[in-house]
Amino acid sequence: MGLSKDSTGARAAGSELVIEKKEPGDLVLALAGNPNVGKSTVFNALTGMHQHTGNWPGKTVTNAQGYVNRQNQGYVLVDLPGCYSLLAHSAEEEVARDFLCFGGADAAVVVCDATCLERNLNLVLQAMEITPRVVVCVNLLDEAERKGVKVHLEKLSELLGVPVVGASARSGTGLEKLLEEAGKSAQGLSPEAGSAPIPYSPFTEEAVAKLQPVVEGLCGGRVNARWLALKLLDSSDTSLDLAMEKNLGLRLRAQPEVREILEALEKQWEKEGLTPERLRDDIASGAVGKAEEIARQAVSFGQNGYSERDRKWDRLLTGKATGFPLMLLLLLGIFWLTITGANYPSQLLSTALFWLGDRLGDLCALCQLPPFLTGLLVDGMYRTLAWVVSVMLPPMAIFFPLFTLLEDLGYLPRVAFNLDKCFQACGACGKQSLTTAMGFGCNAAGVVGCRIIDSPRERLIAMLTNNFVPCNGRLPMLIALITMFFAGAAGGFGGSLLSALLLLCVILLGLSMTLAVSKFLSKTLLKGVPSSFTLELPPYRRPQIGKVIVRSVFDRTLFVLGRAAAVAAPAGLVIWLLANITLGDATLLAHCARFLDPFARLFGLDGVILLAFILGLPANEIVIPLIIMAYTSGGALMELSDLAALHALLADNGWTWVTALCTMLFGLMHWPCSTTCMTIKKESGSLKWTAVAFLLPTACGLGLCFITACAARLLGLA
């Protein structure tokens, strides 16, 4: 029995992925595996693509495909979501299972972790039940060797009955051999696995024997009949019925002959006292028992306690007394390095870009362009874009590599472990801590990352609260305001350390609001019981510094910067028009600011600040440029040589430390940017929940600003 195949392309039921072959003879290989076994690293190394990999579970939540050609044979590689089994208890498992069944793959490559092979073999055995064309890639052999673990590859291949290839994907070792074996398997040139690699109890085997011939006749060999018979015994699994109807046009459970056998079996089980839960346990434990048996024969250990070093680090980084303090110290260190390192490059970049803007203005004058057009292009679009680049690029170029370094080391799952109880106590899922961490880079990315949460209720909670974490577009504004109004008096090392400490406090406030609002939602709009989840703590790995820098710069920094620039340029055009079209005694920008001013002052802001946030909906990065343009009334964005000049401008326009504090609070908690809103709409499929995601942080931000402003007035501080 082989996987269903279609030379013109195939569509995975769970992910709607269309396979695109360059040549009719191209072979489709499915890459499956547990989370964090290096599956995406194998994919990247073979295809030359840059699917983002990370040393923590849940990175790949959708299918990705790449192309490779060896010896005139083309291969389409499909990187499936990481999952621990194919019983389809989560979205990742469902996507992987449906692609293996209906996605049109010619063979499946199951990537395993050599340091913990027993757990990985469970997925291998389940994949072999679906298709006999399986190749096992035992990855991370270098790590296993360091830990005294020896995997006997030939013995493993003999026990499984399928090709087994050892590899170290990070260094590229064994990958050419893997591709060769996968190609042979896809073409039917390798021995196929036996039809029943997993033994089950007598009552399960008896039931399968009755169903299998009937299923075989109905499906006509399109899907493995024995595996389908096993799935039919689990009445709680309805997702496969929907997938079969979609891909094969067949409601198998509704067929009279199948229904008749199932009803007879249920009556028999009832008489014998067999429950559906016991049947499901038998099916699940069959693969686990077989995996243990194979691992005992194929794996040997050179020494006991080989992972003692990892355990010592875990006791330190996840301990009750040390876990949270060390986590806060690491965050403080990252923020301090970001603030300290970004100041000088940002100033140089700003000077260079604004100098170039002046030269562009001279060029426009030389070409005799109309002043209106010159202002629109140079003073509007270019200068706004220059500000965004000079403010965003230096801190991102420091923050993202440091954050990626922690990810590569394997520390992020420890953060999730530390925060799991906090989110559980709020009625949310512990995986939300991972999506919250993604939000530091980009809230839209954090919303997409919520796919790793299985429960729809908890997934919505995570999406609705992700905006309480300041993304990279808001961090520069927070850093600038903290430095100007709260840490400016302390210069040098003390000033930068104080700025980092205050920024950490702001971040902790955002995290506290995330937990508080999550609890509020779980008790009101999204009531429910929090689900448990299995979080694998991966081994600590020596980070690949070069790859960390390249990946963080190209996959994250330039991506986020490009998105911001694409929004900032047209936004600058609109802003310039508002600042230069006069109506009566003032510009349109000034009229709008005056209209909003009475309302804004209730919250410790002014009309210009509130208008800047409104016009900054496309990208948070342009809020400060908008404020500067409105205050200067020059119709163009000025070059401010340093933060002292910006502080003087703000102070001249009535800013106090209370104004700065309220602006920071509203900057931390206000509506998501337009990109995040569109992402929430796409992920939730609901305008209603998108509106809630827009209004919820806004209400919290305005409420907190109102309390702060009123307290300052009562105490005579404002």
pLDDT at 60: 46
The pLDDT value recorded for residue 3 is 40
Q: Residue 76: which H helix or E strand, with range? A: strand 73-79
Give, to the nearest 10 degrees, the angle between helix 588-601 and helix 558-580: 110
Helices 276-298 and 202-219, axial angle in degrees (round to 10): 100
For the chain, give every domain's residue range.
Answer: 27-186, 202-280, 323-714
Q: What is the DSSP string of 432-483?
A: HHHHHHHHTT-HHHHHHHGGG---HHHHHHHHHHGGGS--TTTHHHHHHHHH
Q: What's the Cα-to-Cα distance from 404 to each of 82, 327, 395, rounded to whole Å?
A: 20, 15, 14
User: What are the CA-CA distances from residue 142 to residues 40, 76, 166, 171, 441 (Å)?
Assistant: 17, 27, 10, 9, 32
- Which pair of structure tokens corresponds to residue 689? 């929940």
∠ CA 376-380-382, nearest 5°, is 105
The residue type found at 397 is A
Roughly what angle, to the nearest 10 degrees, separates helices 657-668 and 475-485? 160
pLDDT at residue 232, as a whole number: 84
Beta strands in 89-147 (DSSP E): 107-113, 134-139
pLDDT of residue 563: 63
Residue linked to tokens 């703000």: 650
Cα–Cα dist 516/508, whole Å: 12
pLDDT along the chain (718 residues), means of 10: 35 49 84 86 82 46 76 88 75 80 88 89 90 91 85 92 90 90 86 67 87 86 84 76 79 86 86 79 83 91 66 86 88 80 79 86 88 83 78 75 78 80 83 80 80 83 93 82 77 72 90 93 83 68 72 66 70 79 84 93 94 86 79 59 77 92 94 88 91 95 95 84
The predicted pLDDT at position 537 comes to: 73
Q: Are 120 and 113 in contact (CB under 8 A)?
A: yes
Which of 390, 417, 401, 3 lies closest to 186 in space, CA to CA? 3
* Cα pseudo-dihedral 86, 87, 89, 93, rounded to 10: 10
Rounded CA gap, 458 and 475, in Å?
Answer: 27
- Of 383, 344, 342, nearest in space to 361 by CA: 383
- Nearest-angstrom CA–CA distance, 717 and 709: 9
Alpha helices in 140-275 (DSSP H): 141-146, 153-160, 175-186, 202-219, 225-232, 239-248, 256-272
561, HSE (Cβ side, Cα atoms, 13 Å): 22
The alpha carbon of 529 is separated from its chain's Cα centroid by a whole number of angstroms, namely 24
Is residue 519 classed exposed, middle or buried when 0-12, 13-18 and 19+ CB atoms within 10 A define those classes?
A: middle
Map residue 511 onto helix, strand or coil.
Answer: helix
What is the rounded distance in angstroms from the CA atom of residue 195 to the CA atom of residue 211?
15
Pair type for strands 586-587 and 64-70 = unpaired
Angle formed at CA 408 by CA 407 and CA 411, multiple of 5 degrees: 50
- E runs forming strands in 509-632: 582-583, 586-587
* CATH fold of the domain at 27-186: Rossmann fold (3.40.50)
Say what the pLDDT of residue 501 is: 87
What is the predicted pLDDT for the residue at 156?
A: 93
Query: What single-letter DSSP state applies at residue 174?
Result: T
Distances (CA, A) of 621 to 26, 110, 617, 634, 680: 45, 43, 10, 20, 20
Residue type for position 403:
F
Contacts of 435 (CB under 8 A, 6+ apart): 446, 447, 449, 450, 452, 453, 462, 466
With 0-12 / 13-18 / 19 or more C-beta atoms within 10 angstroms meaning exposed / middle / buried, residue 372 is exposed
Continuous H helices in 273-382: 276-298, 308-317, 323-366, 371-374
Q: Which helix (H) or strand (E) holds 679?
A: helix 674-684
Token digits for 497? 């350390």
Tokens coding 122: 């469970």
Tally: H helices and E strands in the chain:
30, 10
Please tell me the predicted confidence (pLDDT) of residue 515: 93
Dihedral (Cα; 86, 92, 94, 98), 10-degree rounding: -90
Cβ neighbors of 280 (< 8 A, separation 6 or more) are 234, 236
**Contact between residue 67 and residue 56 where contact means Cβ atoms under 8 Å apart:** no
Quick one: which of 299, 326, 271 has its CA closest to 151?
A: 299
| Number of C-beta neighbours around residue 488 at 10 A | 15
The separation between the first and the last C-alpha atoms of the chain, rounded to the nearest angstrom, is 77
